Chains A and B, each alone.
Chain A
């Protein structure tokens, strides 16, 4: 019996990650906040071992197989992955810590709005005997992005500390760095350029192919984890509405509701007979439907027009499909890797 080993990111990531896991019904217990080991409860397969690490180190831990799974930024995975590592992206979009890796230039470069302008500036600096210096912690992604766009005259500069300060400190001319709101860029008098998004990122779940394949118990725990994550992510922005509607029969209610503009829900409304506590002059039915949060009020209006009252709405916590699509995708990846391994 071996417990699933999961690496979570510490520092700025911790609150967001624990909130996300909490929404999935998973609780991380730590004896004290300075401990970097913890247990995660909530999986039917038993508690998982959790280790907290810097987001940038999680890829290496998963790649080396010292943990089975890890939650980190997709940008880090994209920068560090190679064709030959054992890392699989198990769930690419966990829906939090969204950001983008972008090229940004000094605000004062009023003539630069596109990558093509950068190529021109590269040539301009070059004729002055200099190279355009790009500060980044993502050399692989940045180089490939610029090469793919026909830009070859630049130097990548490794900067320790805050990348966005590099141009002001004259350690670099421009930067390629993460931004979510753009505030940090603006504070450092930098602006993103058009077509300069190198990669869009958010938190993702990665796993070690070998470790998952080797242990059916940990694979089963992974399946449970994915079920919860997937069901939670699917349920976000969904509300379940229940309303009481008078009518002659369930069919009659359904027809009236549909005639008022329809309340489709995920599959269609559920209508059931209400047995009133006091005698009433008509039969009453309860209608239940799950809709997107964005159409909550519109749906309430529709139901009112159909004669509904006592309309209640609750946040949906999970939506389970017939099967876990992400787990099946993971299984396919593991099987494909095994086939390749056998061939090689």
Chain B
């Protein structure tokens, strides 16, 4: 037993939120409406654990996500609360679904966790609702996913929004052209989003990435000089042997526990030959900034974006992909007149696994634009997570709480609330049978008085809690074979035969 002393209340974890009634009912209705829409396109529901191995997100999710994960060690197992759902679903696909006929259409909903500053419609735990289309490449598949995203918004009553479409193909081609290492490419992709959004200064981003890449190796201009260059002209084994000899003459022991001396020297030589990354990083970021500045409507793609790619000798396939997908999107259904489309090839979404078309959807409300949806194509993820073969895939998700903020179809549910009250404990069983009959009707919520403190107390409760209709069962009424119906709004009471109570309540609730 607790003593007299009051116990201090526990508070919820900072940055999280409780979803209280009636918000919970509204959010669940919104979620089921969206998922019902996905099912009409042949998507099937899937659930994956909230708890995942940390490793799953380290491989491909990118710094923005990795640095904000709820990660911990439980009995020597490295775990995390999932920071997104696509990697989880691809893990499930690799675990159990690789034999299935493709394409595989999956839809999901569930909480994800990110340790970041809470913002409008986004706590540190929030709900995503989305789809993955696995095993289909090309604009036709991209367009299906785009259409689902737009159709879901319309089902939620949102007809004014801005769709921003990008394509990673442009940047990935340039990075390959520049000959950047995988590690360097990953760093550049991680920084695209903050650069395009103007969250970091271009020069600051260049400095940071070059710094992370360990600065310059050989001088940027004037070609390689010195020992590494001379060694480079020798066969690798011989070069390694000479370098090892020099280091040992200088009493620099090359040993490293788990690492082979040979590997250390080889890396040393390779590093010395590597050019200063500053120029590459600058070229990449300037390209990203140029793409962002050239964001335009779909009909301007050719004159505006094509020259930027051609100037650098890059393929214009990303532009054709985007054009084809947007043409097909319109073929699904005409878009509402309030929809604005912008093509911005610098869009990267802060995730490292996208490879092709990507998109985000923004809805304006009183406080400015809110991103409610995002997705794209990630053709390499299955392979990176250990799948048997590479499988093209794309998908998107809504942020449910954000969508709820901007949707016009909020409001409390239109369910009629009924309270059935027995006048005394003696009447309770008779009241239960009345309630059971009423529960056969749809769209009713039928509560039974269980405190048994009498009619007066029950009516006070009904008044405060917003009950619409109270059914009162007493001893006299039982003997007469009637019940009393009280309409709370008007306080009007009528006596009706017990046998007619279901019909009478149906009439009243439909009114």
B252-281 near A? 1/0 per residue, CB < 8 Å: 111111110101110110010000000000
**How many chain-B residues does the 8 Å CB contact rule pick out?**
35
Q: CB of A231 within 8 A of chain B?
A: no
Contact (A108, B183) CB under 8 Å given A114-B214, A115-B212, A148-B63: no
Determine whether the beta carbon of A147 is less than 8 Å from that of B67.
yes
Contacts of A121 in B (CB 8 A): 259, 267
Determine whether the beta carbon of A111 is less than 8 Å from that of B63.
no
Least CB distance from A213 to B in Å reads 15
Q: CB of B50 within 8 A of chain A?
A: no
Contact (A111, B265) CB under 8 Å given A106-B256, A116-B212, A143-B71: yes
Inter-chain CA distance A125–B253, complex, in Å, is 20
**Which A residues from 95 to 120 make CB contacts under 8 A with B?**
105-111, 113-117, 119-120
Contacts of A120 in B (CB 8 A): 183, 267
Determine whether the beta carbon of B257 is less than 8 Å from that of A110.
no
Of the listed stretches A45-53, A149-157, A259-267, chain B binds A149-157
**Which A residues from 119 to 158 make CB contacts under 8 A with B?**
119-121, 123-125, 130, 143-144, 147-150, 152-153
Inter-chain CA distance A84–B14, complex, in Å, is 7
Determine whether the beta carbon of B252 is less than 8 Å from that of A109.
no
Q: CB of A294 within 8 A of chain B?
A: no
Nearest neighbor of B54 in chain A, beta-carbon distance: A152
Q: CB of A167 within 8 A of chain B?
A: yes
Inter-chain CA distance A291–B181, complex, in Å, is 54
Determine whether the beta carbon of B14 is less than 8 Å from that of A83.
yes
Determine whether the beta carbon of A173 is less than 8 Å from that of B190.
no
Determine whether the beta carbon of A150 is less than 8 Å from that of B253.
no
**Which B residues from 29 to 84 make CB contacts under 8 A with A?**
58-59, 63, 66-67, 71
A-B contact number at CB 8 A? 86
Contact (A116, B214) CB under 8 Å given A108-B264, A110-B247: yes
Contact (A130, B63) CB under 8 Å given A107-B253, A108-B264, A111-B268: no
Which of B67, B186, B213, B265 is A144 in contact with, Cβ under 8 Å?
Answer: B67
Determine whether the beta carbon of B14 is less than 8 Å from that of A108.
no
Which of B11, B214, B259 is A109 in contact with, Cβ under 8 Å?
Answer: B259
Q: CB of A281 within 8 A of chain B?
A: no
Inter-chain CA distance A344–B9, complex, in Å, is 12
Inter-chain CA distance A210–B247, complex, in Å, is 59
Contacts of A123 in B (CB 8 A): 183
Contacts of A125 in B (CB 8 A): 258-259
Contact (A124, B259) CB under 8 Å given A150-B186, A344-B11: yes
Determine whether the beta carbon of B183 is less than 8 Å from that of A150.
yes
Inter-chain CA distance A144–B67, complex, in Å, is 6
Contacts of B256 in A (CB 8 A): 105-106, 108-109, 173
Determine whether the beta carbon of A173 is less than 8 Å from that of B67.
no
> Sorted from nearest, which 8 A-B pairs have the closest CB atoms?
A114-B214, A116-B214, A111-B268, A152-B58, A108-B255, A111-B267, A147-B67, A116-B213
Instruction: Write the residues of chain B forming the contact surface with A, with a CB cutoff of 8 angstroms.
Output: 11, 13-15, 58-59, 63, 66-67, 71, 183, 186-187, 190, 211-215, 247, 252-259, 261, 263-265, 267-268, 271
Q: 13 pairs across A/B with beta carbons < 8 Å?
A: A107-B252, A114-B215, A116-B212, A116-B213, A121-B267, A143-B71, A148-B67, A149-B212, A150-B212, A152-B66, A153-B58, A173-B258, A189-B253
